Amino acid sequence: MAGFDLTALTASFGGERVIGPLSLTVEAGQQVALVGKSGAGKSTLIKLIYQRVAGHAALVPQELGLVNALPVFHNIYMGRLDEHANWYNALTLIRPFRKDREEIRSLLERLDMKEKLWVPTASLSGGQRQRVAIGRAIYRNAGLLLADEPISALDGPMAHKVMTLLCERFQTSVIALHDVEMALAYCNRIIGIQDGQVALDESSKRLSANDILNLY
Amino acid sequence: MFASPTVRVSLLFVAVALAGLVFADIAITTSNPWRDLGRFFLGVVTPDFFSTEGLATALLRTIAFAFVGVALGSFFGFILALVYKAYPVRMFCAFIRAIHELFWALIFLQFFGFHPLTGVLAIAIPYAGIFAKVYSEILDEADPEPARLLPPGTGAVATFLFARIPDCWVQLRTYTAYRLECGLRSSAILGFVGLPTLGFYLETSFSQGLYSEAGAMLVLFYVLIATMPLWVRPKALPFYLVAAPFFLGEGLPIVWGNVARFFTEDIVPAPLRNNEGLTALGSWFGDLMISEALPGIWNTLLLTQIALVATGLLALLAFPLISTHFGGPVRRTSGHVALVIARSTPEYILAYILLQLWGPSMLPAVVALALHNGGIIGHLIGRQTNGIRLRPDAPAGFNRYSYELVPRVYRGFLAFLFYRWEIIMRETAILGILGIYTLGFYVDSAIQNIQFDRALVLILLTAALNIGIDALSRYIRRRLALQTMPTC
Amino acid sequence: MSLKLIRKFTLSALLIATPFASAMAQTFVFTAIPDEDETKLVERFRGVAEYLESRLDVDVRYIPVKSYAAAVSAFRNNQVQLAWFGGLSGVQARGLVPGSQALAQGVEDEAFVTYFIANTSTGLEPSDELTDDVRGKTFTFGSKGSTSGRLMPEFHIRETFGEAPEEVFSRVGFSGNHSRTIRLVEAGTYEVGALNFQVWEKELADGTIDTDAVRVIWKTPTYPDYQWTIRGDVDAQYGEGFTDRVRQALLELDDPALLESFPRSGFIPASNADYEPIRKVAEEIGILD
C-alpha cells in the first residue's frame, strides 16, 4: 500500500469531536506535510490513518514507542519481526545474525549513530531516541510513512539529513511538522489542519511560508 | 478530618481491634518473662557457632530448598501469569497461595515423608500462585505502545519477547529477588515440621534453652539475608540453580503407594470411608465445625484484626527511624539495623521465641506479627518519606511528623497495610501450630491424631477465609482508591 | 539481559527433570517419638543404631522426627521399619499398618505411670487422688499424641471431674515433650502439668529439677506404655526371620549405659494385645475414630 483513500475520518475525545468528519486521499508518490497549531488534531489524524490502513504503514509516533530496556539494535529490528519465524526472533534476542547486524549498522550510519548499536535506548538523549524510532520505521520497509513530529528534537543539520533520508526511503508519506520551512522544503503537498478540519490543501510549489503561517 | 474516608476506615479497624482485645487472651503467663528474655539476648550476643555439627549443613540446605522452591515457583508462576486472565486460573492461583507453606509441608509430609520433594513443593506451590498474580500485574504495566507499532502479522511470541518482557524485565527481576529472600525465610521455618533446614536446629536448641546455639543460628540467618546482594549475583545464579538440587539432602525414598493411599483413603471423610452413610457424614461435619472450625475461625479473625492494627501502629512509629527528616546518620543507621532485623526474622520464629519466653497466649503472636510486618511497612514508607522535599521553614520534631509527613504517606501506608492483611491472616492461622488456638492449632491436632480428613477440611476452610479477606481487602483498596505496588 | 532470562528458564526446566538422589535401598531405618529433648534422643538412638547394626548385618539408621504424628506417618509410609512408640502412637501405628506387631517393651512399661506436677507457688500438696484444688489452674499436657503426657492424664481428668480439661482448667496447653513440661511448670508458665514418670525420675536423679519450685502432686494408676513396633513386611524385605532377629537383639540389649539412657532396666517381650486398654481409652476420648 502506498497511497490511500479514506473517508469519514472522525475522532472524539471525552464526547468532544477533535477530528473530522473529513476525507483524505493520498496518491502514491505524494509527500504530505500536516501543519497547524498544536492541538489542531494532527497527532490524532496520524493515529487515525494508521488504524484505518490496519498497520500497513511505518509509524513514528510522538512518544516514539521504544522498548527502553532493549538496545538500539533490537528496537530497530522490531520493525521486521513479522518477517521471521519465532525461533529466529528469539535467537536474535540473545545473539543477532550477522546479516541483520550489518543491515542495521549501515542504517545507523546514515543516522550518524553507528556507535550506539548496542546501547540500551533508555540511556540515549532525546534526539538519539527520535532517530532510533525513525530507524525502526525505515527498517520496516513499508511503502507508506506516517510520522508525528519526527524531527522535533533534532538540530538543524541532523534534521535535514533525516528528512532527506525519509524522502529517499519512502515513496509516500504523511508527516506532521511544525517547522513550516522544512515542510515546504521536503514535501510536495501541504495540508493545513484547523479545529479538526482541513483548512488548506495545496501543492507546496504554490505556497509560501506566509500562506501557511495564517493557520497559526 | 473525620469526614475523610481513609480516616473513617482506619478508626473502624482500630475500634474492631479494641473490641477484639476484650475477648482475646493476651496475658503474660511466665512468672519471670524478663529473666528468660535477658538470657535469650545474652545468647544472641554470645553466639556459639561450633556447638551443633549440623549447622553448616542446615544453612546449606536452607539455601538449597529456597533456590529450588523459588525457581520452580517462579517458572510455573510465569507460565500461569501468561494465562492469568482466565477466571479458572485466577481462582486456582488464589487457592494455592491461600495455603501457607507450612500447611503444604504438613500435607506432603503425609505421603512423600521426609523426601526433599516435600520441602521443594511446599515452597514452590504457594510461590507459584503468588508469582502468577504479581508477574501478571507487572506484565500488565508494560508500555503497550511498542506492541502497537509492530508490523501486522508479527507473531504473539515475538511480540511478547520484544515488546513486553524487556520493558518489565527489571521489575520482574527485582520482585523475584525479593521473593528469594522470602523463600529463605520459608525454607528456614520448614525445619519446624522436620525438614533438615535451619528451623530444625533452631527449635531443638531453643526448646532446650540453649540460647547461645539458637543465637548463633539467628545471627547466621541475618548475615545470610543481609549479604544477599553480595552473593546473589546474576552471573552466579545459573551456578546456584544447577547446584541447589544436589544440596537438598537425600531424605528418605518416596513410596508411591502412599500417595495413592493419601488421596483415595486418608482424606476421605471417615464416615464415607467406613460406609456409614450421609447422616453420619452430616454429624461428622457438624461436630468438626462446632468443636474445631468455628472456634478456630473466631480466634484466627480476632488475632488477625488485633495484629493488623498493631502492625499499623508499629509501622507509623517505626518509619521515622530511617527517615532522613529526623535525626542524624548514626541514629538512622541503627534504625536501619533494627528494621532489617525485625523484617528478616520470620514471624513464625519470632512468635516461637516470644511464646517460649512469655508463655502461651495471643500476645506473643500479636507482637511477632506486628514486629515483622510493621518492620516491612515501616521500612517502605520510611523510604517514601525520603523522597518528600519539605519547604525550608517546615516545622521540626513531632509537628513535622504529624503535620508534614504522616498526612503525605498515609494513603500509601494504608495501601501497604491492606495489602498485608491477607498475609497476616495466613501467618495467624499457621501460628496455631505453636499452640495458640487459631485454625492451625486444630489442623495440627487433627494431623497429630492421624485424622487427615479433618485436617484437610480445616485447611480448606483456612484457604477460603484467606480468599475472603483478600477479596475484602481489594474491595476496600478500590473504594479508597489506594494504589498498591506488588513489591510489598 | 534477555540472555539471562532464557538461561534462567532453561535451567528451571532442567531442575524439574533432575531426579533426587536416593540410594538407600537396604538400609534398615528406625525412628522414635520425640518425647524428650532431642540432643538426648539423638545420643541414645545412635547408640541403639550401632548396636542393632552389629547384630543384624544390615545398615541401620536412626532418623529424628519433630512430632509423634511424624513418627507414626514415617512408619506407616514404610520410610521407617521399626519405631520406639508410646502406648498411643503404637496403637495408632499398628492400626494403620496391618501385620505390624509390638516386639518388645521396657520392663517398666508394663506398669507405666503419669505424674501430675505443680508449681509450689500454687500451694498444691501431694495427695492420693486428683482433688478439686486443681480447678481453675493453668495446665499443660506434653505432646498432643503422647500417652503419658496426654492420653492418660486427659482420661483421668475426665473421669475425676466428668468434664473436658478445657472446662476444668483456666488454660490448657501442650508443652511439646516431657522435659519441656517440667521446665514450664518449674518456671510457672503453667501451674500444673502431667508427664511421663520415668522422665521425672531420671531428671530428679540427675539433679536437673528445682525441687523448691515444682513437686509431684498425684500419681495415676498404672497402664502399659512404650514399646518397639516393627512392620509386618520386613521379613520379605530383609530376609526370612528378620523380625525374630530384631526382637532377639532388642531383648538381649544389656549395655548398661544404653539402657540407662532410656531409662529402662531391660526389655521384655510385648504383644499387640497388651495395648488393648490404651486403644479403648483413646476411642473413649475420641482420639481414635
Contact C194, C141 (CB under 8 A): yes
Confidence at B484, pLDDT banded by 50, 70, 90: low
Contact C198, C127 (CB under 8 A): no
Taking residues B94-99, report their average pLDDT.
94
Which residue, chain included where needed, has cell 507414626? C72
Tell whether B241 and B313 lie within a shared domain: no
CA B378, CA B371: separation in Å to the nearest integer? 10
pLDDT for the residue numbered B118: 94
In a domain, B119, yes or no: yes
B272 against B253, higher pLDDT: B272
Contact C107, C264 (CB under 8 A): yes
Cβ-based neighbours of B239, under 8 Å, separated by 6 or more: none
User: Are B154 and A56 within 8 A, CB to CB?
Assistant: no
> Chain A residues with CB inside 8 Å of C1's CB?
69
CA B180, CA B69: separation in Å to the nearest integer? 9
> Which residue stretches of C101-163 are H helix?
152-161
Contact B69, B131 (CB under 8 A): no
pLDDT for the residue numbered C22: 35
Tell whether B430 and B353 lie within a shared domain: yes
Confidence at C245, pLDDT banded by 50, 70, 90: very high
3-state secondary structure B299-330: HHHHHHHHHHHHHHHHHHHHHHHCCCCCCCHH
B100 against B344, higher pLDDT: B100
Taking residues B148-176, report their average pLDDT.
89
Spell out the domains of chain A, with CATH numbers in brackets.
Answer: 1-57+145-216 (3.40.50.300), 66-141 (no CATH)
Q: Which residue among B215, B237, B266 closes a domain?
A: B266
End-to-end CA distance of chain A: 33
Tell whether B124 and B14 lie within a shared domain: no
pTM listed for this prediction:
0.84
Q: Which domain holds residue B179?
A: 50-266
Tell whether B256 and B118 lie within a shared domain: yes
Tell whether B126 and B55 lie within a shared domain: yes
A94 touches chain C (CB under 8 A): yes
Mean pLDDT of chain B: 89
Confidence at C35, pLDDT banded by 50, 70, 90: confident
Based on DSSP, count helices (H) and strands (E) in chain A, helices before strands. 8, 8
Taking residues A83-98, report their average pLDDT.
90
Amino acid at C57: D
Nearest to C269 by CA among C248, C255, C241, C254: C248
Tell whether B83 and B15 lie within a shared domain: no
Nearest to B430 by CA among B474, B469, B473, B466: B466
Please determine, for residue A96, whether its predicted confidence score (pLDDT) is greater than 60: yes
Summarised one tens digit per residue, pLDDT across range B207-224 is 777 888 888 889 999 999
In a domain, B38, yes or no: no
Strands C192-196 and C138-141, bridge-based pairing: parallel
Tell whether B257 and B283 lie within a shared domain: no
C1 touches chain A (CB under 8 A): yes
Contact C117, C182 (CB under 8 A): yes
pLDDT for the residue numbered B250: 78
Summarised one tens digit per residue, pLDDT across range B11-56 is 999 999 999 999 888 887 776 777 777 888 888 888 888 876 778 8
| Residue A72 Cα, gap to closest chain B Cα (Å) | 12
pLDDT for the residue numbered C213: 92
Percent of chain B with pLDDT over 90: 47
Cβ-based neighbours of C207, under 8 Å, separated by 6 or more: none
Strands C114-119 and A144-148, bridge-based pairing: unpaired
Tell whether B342 and B210 lie within a shared domain: no
Tell whether B469 and B374 lie within a shared domain: yes
| Residue B114 Cα, gap to closest chain C Cα (Å) | 8
Summarised one tens digit per residue, pLDDT across range A135-147 is 999 998 888 999 9
Q: Which residue among B245, B266, B287 closes a domain?
A: B266
Touching chains, C (3+ CB pairs < 8 A): A, B
Mean pLDDT of chain C: 87
* CATH code of residue B225: 1.10.3720.10
Q: Between A and B, how many residue pairs show a Cβ–Cβ distance under 8 A? A: 70
Please determine, for residue B369, whether its predicted confidence score (pLDDT) is greater than 80: yes
Query: What's the CATH class of domain C28-106+224-285?
Result: alpha beta
In a domain, B45, yes or no: no
User: Are A69 and B170 within 8 A, CB to CB?
Assistant: yes
Summarised one tens digit per residue, pLDDT across range C134-190 is 999 999 999 888 999 999 999 999 999 999 999 999 989 998 889 889 988 988 889
Summarised one tens digit per residue, pLDDT across range A64-77 is 989 888 899 999 99
Amino acid at C177: N
Contact C144, B445 (CB under 8 A): yes
Amino acid at B305: Q
Contact B142, B164 (CB under 8 A): yes
**How many domains are there within chain B?**
2
> Chain A residues with CB inside 8 Å of B170's CB?
69
Please determine, for residue B488, whether its predicted confidence score (pLDDT) is greater than 60: no
pLDDT for the residue numbered A1: 53
pLDDT for the residue numbered C113: 95
All CATH 3.40.190.10 domain ranges in chain C, comma separated? 28-106+224-285, 113-219
Grid coordinates representing B340? Answer: 532489617
Query: C113-219: CATH homologous superfamily?
Result: Periplasmic binding protein-like II (3.40.190.10)
Tell whether B361 and B250 lie within a shared domain: no
pLDDT for the residue numbered B1: 63
Taking residues C41-45, report their average pLDDT.
89
Q: Which residue among B202, B237, B266 closes a domain?
A: B266
B238 touches chain C (CB under 8 A): yes
In a domain, B133, yes or no: yes
Beta strands, E only, chain C: 28-32, 60-62, 82-85, 101-106, 114-119, 138-141, 171-174, 192-196, 214-219, 227-230, 267-269
User: Are A65 and B161 within 8 A, CB to CB?
Assistant: no
Tell whether B175 and B194 lie within a shared domain: yes
Grid coordinates representing A145? Answer: 510513512
Percent of chain C with pLDDT over 70: 91
Which residues 71-90 of A are in CB contact (within 8 Å) with C? 90
pLDDT for the residue numbered B371: 95
Cβ-based neighbours of B3, under 8 Å, separated by 6 or more: none
Highest mean pLDDT among A48-57, B121-130, B156-165: B121-130
Contact A150, A179 (CB under 8 A): no
In a domain, B41, yes or no: no
